[in-house]
């Protein structure tokens, strides 16, 4: 048994080694192609070319523009998810290597999206190829899913990939950067919109109105107080923050008749939508206001409307779950040590798969702290090692 496992790992290592330079040049290409949220068409074309070159069994581009490469047709379905979009570059002058250069220096691939998350994406595309070549997908159907619009609509692209295409994976691996560690969950998040009602009046006669912003001040004070209480709690705590205020008045000479507060609420896995909603109601207290969960609306590059209902529950997977155990086994084999599972401190597409009740876990190439920052990079070695891990995992499930 032990001997067989070692041979298998060595085979994977050799197979990845044989395509390493192609894998890295593919990752560099991905970094060089801009793919802001909702503008991923060029990247999709490049990924399709690579999947076809690598003889994927099937390549699907769906209604919203997700591209899904399929390997195998076995009964156990495993989906690897990487989002294709990246955040903007607003600080190009701070980049030592151009943000779309794809330069490699000291073993680091530089560029916007290198860690978040084109390095991992490239690794999954090549892992699919290795699985096919070595027969590692026997008894499995593998989906290499590259999704649109994660940065502004977390979960919406993957949700559409699953629902529109009728995919029912048994397991989902979110390949966001984890620097080759296993991520077993993260907090959820929600955006609440609190609408405060007032009465507009001429600024010269404010007594005839009821200033909605003054009324909102009481709610703002309570949000701040609750935020401080959460900040004082130990890690894996919820948080609440006021993130934006809007008010409506006829002119700068008019008392505002309404005011909207936007509140970012991070949610622990044990918290329910009802309980968090009750908390928002309590923050409003006796102020004349109501609340709703914010719906973010966008358009995919294919012209499809994407709606993100901004209540995204947190998720976590137990260490005893077969998916976690499979990942731990693959980890030991690839890295020769014990995994140290942890939780991500950011939201991912995992909110979509977890909400659908699909066992979900995280593993990826790249350094999460460089994501969304100037001089973002991904260690080249991470991409190679992640490819080995991804290729080996199906055998452990
Ligand atoms: Zn990401």
pLDDT at position 1, please?
45
How far does residue 291's CA lie from ligand 1's centre (Å)?
Answer: 29
pLDDT digits 0-9 by tens, 70-90: 999 999 999 999 999 999 999
pLDDT above 80 (res 3): no
CA end-to-end span of the chain, whole Å? 16
pLDDT above 70 (res 5): no
pLDDT digits 0-9 by tens, 110-148: 999 999 999 999 999 999 999 999 999 999 999 999 999
Contact 254, 197 (CB under 8 A): no
Check 40, 62, 116, 150 and give the catalytic one: 150
How far does residue 114's CA lie from ligand 1's centre (Å)?
Answer: 10
pLDDT digits 0-9 by tens, 257-286: 999 999 999 999 889 999 999 999 999 999
- Is 264 part of the annotated catalytic residue set? no
How far does residue 244's CA lie from ligand 1's centre (Å)?
Answer: 23
How far does residue 36's CA lie from ligand 1's centre (Å)?
Answer: 12
Average pLDDT, the chain: 95
Check 62, 81, 85, 103 and give the catalytic one: 85
- Is 94 part of the annotated catalytic residue set? no
Q: What band does 7 get if pLDDT is binned at 50, 70 and 90?
A: low
- Which ranges in 204-361 belong to alpha helices (H)? 212-231, 273-284, 322-335, 350-355
pLDDT digits 0-9 by tens, 152-202: 999 999 999 999 999 999 999 999 999 999 999 999 999 999 999 999 999
How far does residue 279's CA lie from ligand 1's centre (Å)?
Answer: 29
Q: Which domains does the chain have, with CATH numbers?
A: 2-186+314-396 (3.40.630.10), 188-299 (3.30.70.360)
Dihedral in degrees, nearest 10, Cα atoms 111, 113, 116, 117:
-110
pLDDT digits 0-9 by tens, 15-70: 999 999 999 999 999 999 999 999 999 999 999 999 999 999 999 999 999 999 99
Scored b (16 or more CB within 10 A) or e, 225-247 reads ebbeeeeeeeeeebbbebeeeeb
pLDDT digits 0-9 by tens, 325-371: 999 999 999 999 999 999 998 899 999 999 899 999 999 999 988 88
pLDDT at position 4, please?
55
What is the enclosing helix (H) or strand (E) of 363?
A: strand 360-363
């Amino acid at each position: 048994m032990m001997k067989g496992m070692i041979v298998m790992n060595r085979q994977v290592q050799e197979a990845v080694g044989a395509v390493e330079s192609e894998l890295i040049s593919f990752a560099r290409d991905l970094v060089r192609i801009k793919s802001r949220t909702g503008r991923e068409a060029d990247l999709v074309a490049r990924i399709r070319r690579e999947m076809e070159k690598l003889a994927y069994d099937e390549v699907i581009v769906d209604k919203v523009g997700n591209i899904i490469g399929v390997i195998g047709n076995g009964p156990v379905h495993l989906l690897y998810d990487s989002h294709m979009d990246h955040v903007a570059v607003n600080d190009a002058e701070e980049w030592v290597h151009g943000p779309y250069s794809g330069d490699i220096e000291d073993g680091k691939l530089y560029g916007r999206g290198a860690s978040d998350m084109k390095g991992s994406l490239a690794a999954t595309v090549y892992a699919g190829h290795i699985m096919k070549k070595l027969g590692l997908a026997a008894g499995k159907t593998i989906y290499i899913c590259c999704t649109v619009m994660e940065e502004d609509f977390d979960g919406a692209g993957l949700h559409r990939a699953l629902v529109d295409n009728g995919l029912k994976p048994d397991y989902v691996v979110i390949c966001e950067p984890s620097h080759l560690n296993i991520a077993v969950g993260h907090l959820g998040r929600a955006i609440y919109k609190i609408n405060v009602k007032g009465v507009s009046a001429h600024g010269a006669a404010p007594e005839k109105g009821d200033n909605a912003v003054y009324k909102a001040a009481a709610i703002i004070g309570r949000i701040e107080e609750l935020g401080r209480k959460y900040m004082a709690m130990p890690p894996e705590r919820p948080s609440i923050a006021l993130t934006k205020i809007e008010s409506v008045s006829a002119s700068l000479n008019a008392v505002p008749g309404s005011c909207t507060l936007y509140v970012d609420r991070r949610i622990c896995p044990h918290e329910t939508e009802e309980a968090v909603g009750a908390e928002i109601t309590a923050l409003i207290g006796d102020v004349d206001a109501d609340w709703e969960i914010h719906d973010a609306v966008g358009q995919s590059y294919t012209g499809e409307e994407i709606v993100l209902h901004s209540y995204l529950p947190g998720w976590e997977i137990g260490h005893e779950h077969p998916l976690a155990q499979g990942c731990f086994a693959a980890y030991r084999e690839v890295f020769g040590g014990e995994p140290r599972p942890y939780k991500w401190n950011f939201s991912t597409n995992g909110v979509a798969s977890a909400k659908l009740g699909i066992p979900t876990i995280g593993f990826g190439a790249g350094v999460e702290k460089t994501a969304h920052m100037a001089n973002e990079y991904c260690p080249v070695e991470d991409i190679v090692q992640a490819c080995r891990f991804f290729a080996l995992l199906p055998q452990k499930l």
